């Protein structure tokens, strides 16, 4: 392919010198103040992962009205205002430089943004010596529409994941991600809803923070790139989604925030968060956990009867559902995914979409059954 990293000259090594012990620092605490000043107080190489949700520098114009007349509650906070692209770049480089210093040699950093700022951030990351591992697309299942019909609906945000350098031995829990994704490799595009409903924090009836991130997003980031006990720093803490998820997943956290209103809400929220018990964490890490809805659950709960016959979309193959949720084809048996892969001679297969059954007289993928189940059984 001849991509940049192939022909690029070797970067500085980023592997920790043997025998150097990371400094002990206070964790599970919130530092009140400017993120650059507060990071400057921390010792070198003390953080395992940084998650950063910096201002996007949206540069919005006047009011925007919805077709039905309502006014869009835009992000108009002072913290999102920068005079020029140059001043935004200087700010970005400054906080990234401190972030790089306090991050362990094998730690990694995540930054989230939109097209307004993410290209500046990505460029700054590369310029400061970080090594980009992936860009991840958060595909919003329920974005705000483009009310005026002037552009494509802005339906995603971008996250950049980077290590300290090309040779850094960053953490990536491959199996945990594959398990979370129903035994398929986790892709670089993640479909998740925006933060709303009960999860959305309120103060006096209005949203506590204009850009609260969903916990599911942080959950996946942390599950992918940290180990239990790791220290996660969020320099733009806001209402503390990073802290709440860290606590839930048994990670240590440090938040930096300068707005008193956000701090108060964040501390209250994290106090109320319940850590998952250790056995649950272990299962997730070792990939023994079943997919969120196991195929067998559909059998157990009567959505599919044992003995039911499944076929592929073109009715080339047939399989019989067994009582334990496995499939049998002749003498061969296995999971819906494995059997699909075997029959096609493919390395992998998503059994949920490969296998079909008759529903209301039509041949539909069994995923439709899972959706029905989820609708009826979600907590």
Partner DNA sequence: TATATAGTTGAATCGCCTG
Partner DNA sequence: TCAGGCGATTCAACTATAT
Strands, E, within 244-325: which ranges? 252-257, 309-311, 318-321
Angle ∠(96,100,102) on CA atoms, nearest 5: 120
For 223, the token pair is: 């599950």
What is the 8-class DSSP label of residue 273? -
For 3, the token pair is: 């991509």
Regarding 142 and contact with its own copies (CB under 8 A), the answer is: no
Regarding 119 and contact with DNA (CB under 7 A), the answer is: no
Regarding 350 and contact with its own copies (CB under 8 A), the answer is: yes
Place of tokens 């043997």: 18
Regarding 200 and contact with DNA (CB under 7 A), the answer is: yes
Regarding 364 and contact with DNA (CB under 7 A), the answer is: no
| Shortest Å distance, C-beta 190 to DNA | 15
Environment class of 262 (CB within 10 Å of its CB; exposed 0-12, middle 13-18, buried 19+): buried
Q: Which does 6 bind (CB under 5 to 8 A by kind): its own copies, DNA, none?
A: its own copies
Pairing of strands 362-365, 231-234: unpaired
Q: How many residues bind its own copies (CB under 8 A)?
A: 88
User: Binders of DNA among 252-271, rule CB under 7 A?
Assistant: none
**Could you say which of 19, 69, 302, 361 contacts its own copies (CB under 8 A)?**
69
Given a contact cutoff of 8 angstroms between Cβ atoms, the answer to whether 220 and 161 are in contact is no
Q: State how far the Cα of 364 lies from the Cα of 357, in Å rounded to an integer.
A: 6
Residue nearer to DNA on the CB measure, 25 or 36: 36
Question: Which window, 276-284, 305-313, 323-331, 342-350, contacts its own copies (CB under 8 A)?
Answer: 342-350
**Could you say which of 15, 90, 189, 324 contacts its own copies (CB under 8 A)?**
189
User: Binders of its own copies among 27-56, rule CB under 8 A?
Assistant: 56
Regarding 241 and contact with DNA (CB under 7 A), the answer is: no
| Shortest Å distance, C-beta 344 to its own copies | 6
For 246, the token pair is: 């860290």
Q: Which does 338 bind (CB under 5 to 8 A by kind): its own copies, DNA, none?
A: DNA
**Could you say which of 29, 85, 280, 313 contacts its own copies (CB under 8 A)?**
85
| Shortest Å distance, C-beta 305 to DNA | 19
Regarding 197 and contact with its own copies (CB under 8 A), the answer is: no
Residues sharing a CB contact under 8 Å with residue 35, sequence separation 6 or more, in sequence order: 95, 98, 235, 236, 256, 258
Regarding 149 and contact with its own copies (CB under 8 A), the answer is: yes
Given a contact cutoff of 8 angstroms between Cβ atoms, the answer to whether 184 and 336 are in contact is no
Residue nearer to DNA on the CB measure, 100 or 337: 337
Total length of the chain:
379
| Shortest Å distance, C-beta 77 to its own copies | 10
| Shortest Å distance, C-beta 293 to DNA | 7
Regarding 64 and contact with DNA (CB under 7 A), the answer is: yes
**Could you say which of 188, 282, 301, 377 contacts its own copies (CB under 8 A)?**
188
Regarding 203 and contact with DNA (CB under 7 A), the answer is: no
Regarding 190 and contact with DNA (CB under 7 A), the answer is: no
Q: Which residue in 209, 185, 186, 191 sits closest to 199, CA to CA?
A: 209
Q: Which residue in 111, 115, 114, 109 sits closest to 131, CA to CA?
A: 109
Q: State how far the Cα of 1 lies from the Cα of 93, in Å rounded to an integer.
A: 31
Across-strand partners of 159?
Answer: 112, 136
């Amino acid at each position: 392919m001849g991509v940049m990293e192939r022909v690029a000259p070797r970067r500085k090594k980023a592997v920790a010198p043997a025998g150097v012990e990371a400094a002990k620092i206070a964790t599970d605490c919130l530092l009140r103040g400017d993120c650059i000043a507060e990071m400057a107080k921390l010792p070198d190489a003390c953080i395992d992962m940084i998650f950063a949700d910096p201002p996007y520098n949206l540069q919005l114009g006047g009011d925007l009205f919805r077709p039905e007349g309502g006014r869009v509650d835009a992000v108009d906070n002072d913290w999102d205002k920068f005079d020029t692209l140059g001043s935004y770049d200087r700010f970005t480089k400054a906080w990234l430089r401190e972030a790089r210093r306090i991050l362990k040699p094998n730690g990694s950093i995540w930054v989230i943004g939109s097209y307004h700022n993410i290209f500046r951030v990505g460029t700054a990351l590369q310029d400061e010596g970080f090594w980009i591992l992936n860009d991840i697309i958060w595909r919003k299942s329920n974005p705000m529409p483009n009310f005026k019909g002037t552009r494509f609906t802005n339906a995603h945000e971008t996250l950049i994941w980077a290590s300290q350098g090309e040779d850094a031995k960053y953490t990536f829990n491959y199996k945990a991600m594959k398990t979370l994704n129903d035994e398929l490799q986790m892709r670089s595009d993640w479909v998740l809803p925006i933060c709303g409903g009960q999860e959305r924090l309120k103060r006096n009836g209005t949203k506590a923070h204009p850009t609260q991130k969903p916990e599911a997003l942080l959950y996946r980031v942390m599950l992918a790139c940290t180990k239990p006990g790791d220290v996660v720093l969020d320099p733009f803490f806001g209402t503390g989604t990073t802290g709440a998820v860290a606590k839930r997943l048994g990670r240590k956290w440090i938040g930096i925030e300068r707005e008193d209103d956000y701090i108060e809400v964040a501390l209250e929220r994290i106090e109320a968060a319940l850590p998952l018990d250790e056995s649950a964490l272990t299962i997730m890490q070792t990939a023994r956990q079943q997919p969120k809805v196991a195929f067998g659950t559909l059998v157990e709960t009567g959505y599919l009867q044992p003995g039911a016959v499944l076929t592929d979309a073109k009715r080339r193959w047939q399989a019989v559902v067994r009582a334990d949720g496995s499939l049998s084809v002749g003498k061969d048996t296995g999971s819906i995914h494995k059997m699909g892969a075997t029959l096609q001679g493919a390395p992998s297969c998503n059994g949920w979409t490969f296998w079909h059954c008759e529903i209301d007289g039509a041949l539909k993928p069994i995923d439709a059954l899972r959706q029905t189940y989820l609708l009826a059984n979600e907590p």
